[in-house]
Amino acid sequence: MTDFFKGIQAVKYEGPETENEFTFRYYNPDEVIMGKRMEDHLRFAVAYWHSFAYEGGDPFGGRTFDRPWFGDSMDAAKLKADAAFEMFDILGAPYFCFHDLDVRPEGKTFAENKRNLEEIVDYFAQKMETSKTKLLWGTANLFTHRRFMAGAATNPDPEVFAYSAATIKSCMDATMKLGGENYVLWGGREGYETLLNTDLTKEAEHAARMLEMVVEYKHKMGWDGQILIEPKPQEPSKHQYDFDVATVYGFLKRFGLENEVKMNIEQGHAILAGHSFEHELALAGSLGMLGSIDMNRNDYQSGWDTDQFPNNVPEMALAYYEVLKAGGFTKGGTNFDARIRRQSLDAEDLILSHIGGMDCCARGLKAAAAMLEDGKLEAARDARYAGWDTDGAKAMLGSDLASIQERVLADNVNPEPRSGRQERLENLVNRYL
């Protein structure tokens, strides 16, 4: 036991009336919603990087946090793991997620990195024998070290492609060994700073080949986890190839990978792309591509990926509405890719931020389920398209321009516009919140 979280008890559900800050008011893991336990709907994950590796830096200043595990030795990495699993227990977190660089010190060579990761993975595996927390996904950090400054799979230097492929293999091995349910690829620097030095064709082909190798390795190992791409439009690079759900879908179709790969959709990234979160989720749902979500909001004024914990229930309600409509999570879940602010120095802040985020998502989920069960919103949507239920309308889709023109002339077709009833629907949604 470390003494980092000393005095903080396991967080329990006490209901909305409680005065105790260290309890859940809405997140009640065992409560059954639409036939499924809340914990099984939401499948919360703690992000190792933000909670344990982030030092409190911003572009204008460095470390503000003082954590006993900061340092680049294996002992420090193990202390970090001890504290992490203590926090998972306190929160009753069903899952966590990590990058290789979050959990192991950076070595001088690839071989050293590989050994360090394997040692920590063994350490995790021991802890996971007694912990209830499982691995939602693993991933490789192919963006922090300077070797990746011009990309990983899309780097003009084939040796960086090689280093990246070797690293991905290690991270997939780690994920499989720990029973992870997904493997995520976020293309941190897969994009460009300037078109003046960039070959778009080569970079796309190399990115696709790397992804194919990931899929091939998954099948070779007989692993049944999901491979997920995480879209983001920019930051750190000026333009990122995995811009948004629509762009990633086009890329997957272009290279014939659309049945092998799904998406991990992050709220903050949706906003950076100029979309709402529910837009990205709805589109992924309609394409059958919704794999998992990163549940962290951006500040709407800053235009930066601020990775804050969610605190807006109406937004969560619309988001989980799309998740439920898409059939809910199977292997995916709700990862808090969120960090506390750099002035939030205390161990308590780490716990309270997660409690708040979990409660906010739980309220959103409950509202979404009520909306879906009530059926009024879907009924209104169906009514809007009811014209298409007729045999004539269906047959038209199988006909051609000339026959359609003949009928329009013969029947003197002259459609009357109808209200889209937006405000009525907005009023309806507000009744569930």
Q: Which is nearer to ligand XLS, 99 or 363 (CB)?
A: 99
- Nearest residue to 354 via CA among 48, 37, 33: 48
Binding-site residue total for ligand XLS (CB under 6 A)? 10
Cβ neighbors of 67 (< 8 A, separation 6 or more) are: 4, 52, 55, 80, 83
Catalytic residue status for 99: yes
Tokens describing residue 1: 């036991």
Considering the complex, what minimum distance in angstroms separates the CB of residue 185 from ligand XLS?
8
Q: How far is the C-alpha of 132 from the C-alpha of 335, rounded, in Å? A: 16
Considering the complex, what minimum distance in angstroms separates the CB of residue 1 from Ni ion?
31
- Pattern of binders to ligand XLS over 75-114, x per CB under 6 A? ------------------------x---------------
337 counts as binding ligand XLS under rule CB under 6 A = yes
Considering the complex, what minimum distance in angstroms separates the CB of residue 142 from ligand XLS?
9
Cβ neighbors of 394 (< 8 A, separation 6 or more) are: 388
Report the residue from 86, 294, 322, 359 that binds ligand XLS according to the rule CB under 6 A.
294
Binding site for Ni ion (CB under 5 A): 266, 294, 305, 337
Considering the complex, what minimum distance in angstroms separates the CB of residue 283 from ligand XLS?
19
Catalytic residue status for 391: no
Q: Which is nearer to ligand XLS, 139 or 155 (CB)?
A: 139
User: Closest residue (Cβ) to ligand XLS?
Assistant: 186
Omega of the bond prior to 236 within 30 degrees of 0, cis? yes
DSSP for 121-188, please give it: HHHHHHHHHH-S-EEEEEE---SSSGGGTT-STT-SSHHHHHHHHHHHHHHHHHHHHTT-SEEEEE-T
Cβ neighbors of 271 (< 8 A, separation 6 or more) are: 277, 297, 298, 300
Q: Which does 175 bind (CB under 5 to 8 A by kind): Ni ion, ligand XLS, none?
A: none
Indicate the DSSP class of residue 297: B
266 counts as binding ligand XLS under rule CB under 6 A = yes
Q: How far is the C-alpha of 310 from the C-alpha of 230, rounded, in Å? A: 18
Report the residue from 28, 116, 139, 170 that binds ligand XLS according to the rule CB under 6 A.
139
- Nearest residue to 350 via CA among 5, 3, 2, 19: 5
186 counts as binding ligand XLS under rule CB under 6 A = yes
Considering the complex, what minimum distance in angstroms separates the CB of residue 426 from ligand XLS?
30
Report the residue from 102, 230, 278, 359 that binds ligand XLS according to the rule CB under 6 A.
230
Indicate the DSSP class of residue 196: G
Report the residue from 232, 275, 297, 366 that binds ligand XLS according to the rule CB under 6 A.
232
Radius of gyration of the chain (CA): 24
Cβ neighbors of 141 (< 8 A, separation 6 or more) are: 99, 100, 101, 102, 188
Q: Which is nearer to ligand XLS, 41 or 99 (CB)?
A: 99
Catalytic residue among 102, 173, 307, 337: 102
Considering the complex, what minimum distance in angstroms separates the CB of residue 313 from Ni ion?
21
Tokens describing residue 429: 């949604």
Q: Which does 278 bind (CB under 5 to 8 A by kind): ligand XLS, Ni ion, none?
A: none
Residues making contact with ligand XLS (CB under 6 A): 99, 139, 184, 186, 230, 232, 266, 294, 305, 337
**Which residues form the catalytic set?**
99, 102
